[in-house]
Amino acid sequence: MACPRPENVGILAVEMYFPTSYVSQEELEVHDGVSKGKYTIGLGQDKLGFCTDCEDVISMSLTVVKSLMEKYGVSPNSIGRLEVGSETVIDKSKSIKTNLMELFEESGNGDVEGVDSTNACYGGTAALFNCINWVESTGWDGRFGLVVAADVAVYAEGPARPTGGAGAVAMLIGPNAPFVMERSYTSSQMSHAYDFYKPVLASEYPVVDGKLSTTCYLKALDLCYRRFCDKYSKKEGQPFSLADIDYVVCHSPYNKLVQKSFARLVYNDYLQSPNLVGEEVAAKLEPFAHLSHDDSLVNRDLEKLAQQVAKPQYDEKVGPTTLLPKVVGNMYCAALYGGLVTLIHNKAESLVGKRLVFFSYGSGLASSMFSFRVRAVESPFSLSAIAEALDITSKLESRIEVTPEKFGKAMHLGETRYGANDYIPTSSIKELRAGTFYLTKVDDKYRRFYSRKPSVESSPAMNGVKIGRIRSEDIRHRLSVFLCARFDVGENGMPAEYPKGGWECGSEGGSYSVPESNGSRWTKEEAELRCRKGDRNGPVIVSGRKQLLSVRVSATGNGDITDSKPPAAHHSHESMCMDKYRLGRTTARWSERVITGIKSRGEMPSTTSAGGMIDRLQMIFVVTRTEEEGTRTKTEPRLSQKPPKPTLAYPVVVVAPHAMWPIAATILTFSQPNVAKHGPSHISELSLL
């Protein structure tokens, strides 16, 4: 049976990623020895985000796609088309989209149409059009489309370098969307120009004609706007102007060009009819009424005056879209949609009923103008839910400023690594946000391998900051529990303190001490032996790798403990080092109940060991609510004092290796009454970090 024709097709959800490292444009001005304000006023930029050698366009794309699917509960099987827009060339044959298909392997969904679109900064828009056209076509099979716009913008040392940046945006496409595309008005301008291009395949740096590129951009803007107005007038029977637009989102190589762009729209309204801009503005623009189009594009007096008269409207209609492009930098294909993310961040619910007009430009050249109407829809795709999921404030606050010298070294390292093989990135992943994918190596055949920083770091018990001990005796009411309080993990990968279980001390191969055992110490071999024997007074075997943390649990007869390999814990009913944390039922049986619940939701692989347990499973249970007080964390409420309220939810963090190392995390949230009556297999809510 054919799918019903979709209505209100557009953008359902948006997710964004940008690197944590950035350099201040003010500091760059000083470092480069240019006049004060050259970058901050002349370009209109505040900061420049950049990738270290452990991130690239593929890792950012993996991060943003995985994050979107997790936050909105989108199953890989529900994606029918995946399009990527990017001009960052990693491979001249293999598309970025094919790398993203690794996220779909476990689900078995290989029936996903689409590949990459490439034309400078326009590829993301081409990908968006392709997905929307697919959903609106007779070929649509009822599944979502997914658009990825991602790029790393880098320039050779010199005046263009401050216009760099990096970022990725993913957009879920489908019917009944909050952002509905008004497809009938879309206009385009395509032509041939050598304003910005990358003919040297051995380098990622472009050849740029700055003045020509600005002229091409503004000319394409004029033509697209005039055609958009014509299409609207023919369809609606009335003229179209800026008065019909609530917000304008422009492709932003640098903010000064966006300011010039909006001024051109005001000038175009004046040329269409002086009445559209008001008497005062019309009087000021009248001296430029008879300029030819080409002359108007290069007339500095007109440019300056138009920006002045346009500023009040610019502040209202464009200003709310400019934050991220100004503080992250030029993200090429992602730059335009970074403006959309900024608008959602700033306005959210007040966008309902508004019209948003976008101008997309890619050198060479390809350009389009298109619009969206904003609707109120129910969660999870409500505007407030999207804004909350984007969480832009915390993403910006988590960034790390580096010096211009360190930025320059990163750019130089990128030059040496471009097109190279057989290397392992040297940059630390310490500052990467939880859930971020990163490059682990490029082998001798130029194949690239990626891992994901564990999402579990966002859990109160694994948040990477110093927290006080949480005593397991504070937990009652038939809840099995393993509490894991973590301190900082050093660069050598040694983990730190664990309550009621001791800690690993010294370097690799060192000893293990347990304060609860009067300072008893075991060698590595003795610790393994005690774990194999199921010694409940023995140590909890732990292993860390840089900032990646795992709890090691060994089965009977299998002392599985290493410091250098990805963890592979094996569970058995007969013996587990975690048994001493049981309350009411054994940890092994409780684990089995939790696993059964996860498997029923299809969130974990079905591979099981002979004992019926999921093989290679890491588990950390945190059954408590915490409230941070400086560097201390207290348990709230103390369950030994009174039963929890029925509405209290307990997070259970289940950490398991997926297709790629490192580990990924799943949060199971269930209410206390269900736990007390049925056990954790009755899960009321499942969400992914």
**Catalytic residue list:** 87, 121, 251
Cα angle: 388, vertex 391, 397; to 5 degrees: 150
Which residue(s) pair with 16 in the sheet?
169
* 213 known member of a binding site: yes
What is the distance between the alpha carbons of residues 622 and 667, in angstroms, rounded to a whole number?
10
Neighbours of 459 (CB within 10 A): 21
Token readout for 558 is: 């299998």
What is the distance between the alpha carbons of residues 229 and 468, in angstroms, rounded to a whole number?
63
Neighbours of 663 (CB within 10 A): 22
Phi and psi for 132 in degrees, rounded to 5? -65, -45
CA distances from 318 to 242, 249, 251, 597 (A): 11, 6, 11, 48
Phi and psi for 349 in degrees, rounded to 5? -60, -25
* 453 known member of a binding site: no
What is the distance between the alpha carbons of residues 417 and 428, in angstroms, rounded to a whole number?
16
The residue behind tokens 């990622």 is 204
Q: Are 363 and 216 a contacting pair, CB within 8 Å?
A: yes
The residue behind tokens 């594009």 is 297
- Is the alpha carbon torsion for 87, 90, 93, 98 positive or negative? negative
103 burial level (CB within 10 Å; 0-12, 13-18, 19+): buried
Give me the torsion for CA of 553, 559, 563, 567, rounded to 10°.
Answer: -40
Cis peptide before 380 (omega within 30 of 0): yes
Which residue(s) pair with 512 in the sheet?
504, 522
* 543 known member of a binding site: no
What is the distance between the alpha carbons of residues 119 and 138, in angstroms, rounded to a whole number?
27
Which residue(s) pair with 452 in the sheet?
437
Q: Give the single-character DSSP code of 623.
A: -
495 burial level (CB within 10 Å; 0-12, 13-18, 19+): buried
Annotated binding residues, written as ranges, equal: 213, 256, 260
Q: Which residues line the annotated binding site for CoA?
A: 213, 256, 260
